[in-house]
């Protein structure tokens, strides 16, 4: 999950980070912001959901936090929770629902 504050100014995820996430065994990425390289991301074995797409890359500042609670879109996401997403929406659960 990437909390980009809902910004639509630039993309926070592209094909290179998407490929790295898939190589590291991630099943998906939820971005509260924009992504780029959508046509290439579709061919990578990883689910990606975002607010929008944007062609502009973000400036890398090597900042960020891992394993912290995140709140956006009226939902409070806690580390260790399970997130399920498809074209119809997103569900968050405290336990594994076995929907893999």
- Give percent of the chain above pLDDT 90: 75
Neighbouring CB atoms inside 10 A of 69's CB total: 10
Rg (CA), the chain: 13
Q: What is the pTM of this model?
A: 0.88
pLDDT in tens, 72-82: 888 899 999 99
Distance of CA 7 to the CA centre of its chain: 14
pLDDT at 99: 76
Q: 63: pLDDT confidence band, cut at 50, 70 and 90? A: confident
Task: State the average pLDDT over residues 72-93.
Answer: 90
| Domains parsed from the chain with CATH numbers | 2-56+68-93 (3.50.30.40)
**Which two three-digit tokens encode residue 48?**
């990606």
Per-residue model confidence (pLDDT) at position 100: 63
Cα separation of 96 and 100, whole Å? 9
């Amino acid at each position: 999950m990437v909390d980009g504050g809902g910004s639509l100014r630039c993309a926070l995820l592209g094909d290179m980070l998407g490929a790295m996430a898939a190589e590291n065994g991630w099943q998906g990425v939820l971005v509260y912001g924009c992504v780029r390289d959508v046509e290439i991301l579709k061919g990578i074995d990883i689910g990606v959901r975002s607010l929008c797409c944007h062609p502009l890359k973000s400036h890398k500042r090597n900042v960020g936090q891992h394993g912290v609670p995140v709140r956006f879109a009226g939902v409070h996401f806690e580390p260790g929770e399970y997130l399920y997403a498809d074209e119809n929406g997103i569900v968050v659960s405290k336990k594994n629902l076995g929907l893999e």
